[in-house]
C-alpha cells in the first residue's frame, strides 16, 4: 500500500532553506526511493514575504509567522534553518511539544541549548537530527556516532569553518586581503549572519563542542573551549610559516590527555605535507582517531547551499524512514545514552601539548639569539625551526621566528614571558600553535 506523502514545514528560506527546496525537487525520485514515500514541503516561514527566492515556492504556503508552521497539525517534520539560539530555540521546543520531528543545521543552537532540546525530544519520543550543523555536507556526525561506535576516540582535529578556510586560502594563494576574502565568502553564502562567528572561531567552537560530545561522551561544553579566530593572522605569518614548510589552518582540536580532554579552536601551523594542509577554499576536513580503526579522514564542502542541503535532506530521509517504520531503535542524539555522559575534566590551556610558533621583534645585538634559545632550554622547550628576518621600518631591530617541538603549553608560556621581559624584546609578540598528526 502506498503511503501518504509526508508534509514538512520549513523555517527559513535563505541559503540553506532554498537549497533544500531545490534538492528535494531535483532529486525527488531518488529521494522517494530512499525514503519510501514522497516528501512535500507544504509550509515555509521567512522574515520578508516580498523577497524573491532562488527556488520554486509554488505549492508552499508562505508565512512571516514561524509559529504557524510549527503548530500546523498537517506538518510532521520541521526543518529549522533560520539560525540563532533564541527564537530558533523557542520554535524547536514548540515543534517538539506539538509532536513534530525536527531537523536543524544550527550549530549555535545545538552547542548552547542541545541538552535541553534533546531532553524535550526524548520526553516526547521525537527525533532531532543535526548532521548539517557540523562540517556542512560531510556526514561526520553519522560517521562518529554510528560508523566509529566501537572505538574509543582518542582525538579528532579538523578544519570545520568553511568561511575561515576560504579566507586563509585566498590570502595565501591569491594574495587577497582579509576583508575582500570575507566579503566574497559572504556573497557565496558561506558566512554566518554575523560573520564574527566565523572569523573569531565561535562557529568552529560550536561545532567542536558537538563533535567532542559525540566522540567522548561528555556534555556539550562550548563555554569551556579555548577559542581563537583568524582575524589577527597577518600576511607575514602566512609567509613566514610557508618559508619554514608550514601552512596556517584554522583547526578545532579535541584530544584526550592524561588530565582530561583538551578542547581548542585556533589558527595552527601544519606541515605543508600534511593532509590538512591541502584542504582549500570552503572545504572542510576532519580527522578522527579511533583506537581500533586508527586515523580516519572525512573531507568535503563545509558550507554552501547544495552541500548543506545534502546533509539536511539526508536527516529528513532518515526521519521519514523512522516515521514510516519503527522509531524504537533510533540512535541517541549524542551517540551515548543520556545517562551515560561522563564528567571528564576539560583541561586548562597550560596542559595543552603541542608545538608552538612565535615571532618576536628584538634589538639586533650580539647574544640576543643565545639568550632566547637559552631561556627556551631552561624551560625544557626544544626548537624545531628558527628564522631571522629584517623587519621593514624597524631600524636595527630583527625579527626572530621560532617553531618549537611539542611541549606542555604552560612551560612555553613561562619561557615566552621571560623572553618578553628582556630589555632587547619589543612589544607585539605573535604566538600560534603547531599541530602534528600521524596521517
Active-site amino acid positions: 207
Do 100 and 75 form a contact (C-beta atoms < 8 A)? yes
**Binding of ligand HSE by 302 (CB under 6 A):** yes
**Binding of ligand HSE by 80 (CB under 6 A):** no
In the bound complex, what is the minimum distance in angstroms from residue 210's beta carbon to ligand HSE?
11
Do 207 and 254 form a contact (C-beta atoms < 8 A)? no
Query: CB under 5 to 8 A by kind: which of ligand HSE, ligand NAP, none does 12 bind?
Result: ligand NAP
Where b means 16+ CB within 10 Å and e means fewer, 418-439 reads bbeeeebbeeebbebbbbebee
H-type helices in 13-53, by residue range? Answer: 15-26, 28-35
In the bound complex, what is the minimum distance in angstroms from residue 343's beta carbon to ligand NAP?
29
Query: CB under 5 to 8 A by kind: which of ligand NAP, ligand HSE, none does 161 bind?
Result: ligand HSE
Say whether 45 sits in a helix, a strand or coil.
Answer: strand
Distance (Å, whole) CA 268 – CA 356: 9
What character string, x for contact with ligand HSE (CB under 6 A) and - otherwise, covers 221-250? ------------------------------
Which residue's beta carbon is nearest to the bound ligand NAP? 14
Nearer to ligand NAP, 140 or 347 (CB): 140
Q: Applying CB under 6 A, what is the total number of residues that bind ligand HSE?
A: 11
Would the CA dihedral through 56, 62, 67, 73 be positive or negative? negative
What character string, x for contact with ligand HSE (CB under 6 A) and - otherwise, covers 92-131? ----------------------------------------
Do 160 and 302 form a contact (C-beta atoms < 8 A)? yes
In the bound complex, what is the minimum distance in angstroms from residue 28's beta carbon to ligand NAP?
21
In the bound complex, what is the minimum distance in angstroms from residue 114's beta carbon to ligand NAP?
13
The strand pair at 294-301 and 283-290 is best described as antiparallel
What character string, x for contact with ligand HSE (CB under 6 A) and - otherwise, covers 151-190? ----------xxx--------------------------x
Other beta carbons less than 10 A from residue 78's beta carbon: 28
Distance (Å, whole) CA 77 – CA 60: 15
Query: CB under 5 to 8 A by kind: which of ligand HSE, ligand NAP, none does 106 bind?
Result: ligand NAP
Say whether 195 sits in a helix, a strand or coil.
Answer: coil
Q: In which order are the strands placed within the sheet that holds 6-11?
A: 61-63, 39-45, 6-11, 77-80, 101-104, 128-129
Query: CB under 5 to 8 A by kind: which of ligand HSE, ligand NAP, none does 163 bind?
Result: ligand HSE
Query: CB under 5 to 8 A by kind: which of ligand NAP, ligand HSE, none does 198 bind?
Result: ligand HSE
Q: Which residues in this chain contact ligand HSE in the complex, by CB under 6 A? A: 136, 161-163, 190-192, 198, 203, 302-303
Amino acid at each position: 500500500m502506498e503511503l501518504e506523502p509526508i508534509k514538512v514545514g520549513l523555517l527559513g528560506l535563505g541559503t540553506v532553506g532554498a537549497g533544500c527546496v531545490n534538492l528535494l525537487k531535483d532529486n525527488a525520485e531518488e529521494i522517494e526511493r530512499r525514503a519510501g514515500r514522497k516528501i512535500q514541503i507544504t509550509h515555509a516561514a521567512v522574515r520578508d514575504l516580498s523577497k524573491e527566492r532562488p527556488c520554486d515556492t509554488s505549492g508552499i504556503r508562505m508565512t512571516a509567522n514561524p509559529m504557524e508552521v510549527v503548530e500546523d497539525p498537517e506538518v510532521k517534520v520541521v526543518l529549522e534553518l533560520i539560525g540563532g539560539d533564541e527564537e530558533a530555540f523557542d520554535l524547536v521546543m514548540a515543534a517538539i511539544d506539538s509532536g513534530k520531528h525536527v531537523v536543524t543545521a544550527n550549530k549555535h543552537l545545538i552547542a548552547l541549548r542541545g541538552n535541553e532540546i534533546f531532553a524535550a525530544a526524548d520526553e516526547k519520543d521525537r527525533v532531532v537530527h543535526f548532521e548539517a550543523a557540523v562540517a556542512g555536507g560531510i556526514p561526520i556526525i553519522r560517521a562518529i556516532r554510528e560508523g566509529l561506535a566501537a572505538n574509543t576516540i582518542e582525538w579528532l582535529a579538523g578544519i570545520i569553518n568553511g568561511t575561515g578556510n576560504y579566507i586563509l586560502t585566498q590570502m595565501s594563494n591569491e594574495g587577497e586581503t582579509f576583508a575582500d576574502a570575507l566579503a566574497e565568502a559572504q556573497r557565496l553564502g558561506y558566512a554566518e549572519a554575523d560573520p564574527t562567528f566565523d572569523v573569531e572561531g565561535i562557529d568552529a567552537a560550536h561545532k567542536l563542542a558537538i563533535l567532542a560530545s559525540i566522540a567522548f561522551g561528555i556534555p556539550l561544553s562550548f563555554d569551556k573551549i579555548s577559542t581563537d579566530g583568524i582575524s589577527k593572522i597577518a600576511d607575514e605569518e602566512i609567509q613566514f610559516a610557508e618559508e619554514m614548510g608550514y601552512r596556517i589552518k584554522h583547526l578545532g582540536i579535541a584530544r584526550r590527555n592524561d588530565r582530561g580532554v583538551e578542547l581548542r579552536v585556533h589558527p595552527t601551523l601544519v606541515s605543508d605535507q600534511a593532509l590538512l594542509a591541502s584542504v582549500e577554499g570552503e572545504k572542510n576536513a576532519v580527522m578522527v582517531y579511533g583506537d581500533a580503526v586508527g586515523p580516519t579522514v572525512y573531507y568535503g564542502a563545509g558550507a554552501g547551499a547544495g552541500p548543506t542541503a545534502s546533509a539536511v535532506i539526508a536527516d529528513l530521509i532518515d526521519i521519514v524512514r523512522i516515521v514510516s517504520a519503527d522509531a524504537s531503535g533510533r540512535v541517541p542524539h549524542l551517540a551515548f545514552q543520556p545517562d551515560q555522559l561522563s564528567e571528564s575534566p576539560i583541561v586548562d590551556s597550560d596542559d595543552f601539548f603541542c608545538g608552538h610558533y612565535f615571532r618576536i621583534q628584538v634589538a639586533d645585538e650580539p647574544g640576543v639569539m643565545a639568550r632566547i634559545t637559552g631561556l627556551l632550554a631552561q624551560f625544557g622547550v626544544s626548537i624545531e625551526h628558527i628564522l631571522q628576518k629584517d623587519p621593514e621600518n624597524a631600524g636595527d631591530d630583527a625579527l626572530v621566528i621560532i617553531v618549537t617541538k611539542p611541549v606542555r603549553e604552560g612551560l612555553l608560556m613561562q619561557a615566552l614571558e621571560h623572553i618578553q621581559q628582556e630589555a632587547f624584546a619589543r612589544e607585539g609578540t605573535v604566538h600560534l600553535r603547531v599541530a602534528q598528526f600521524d596521517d
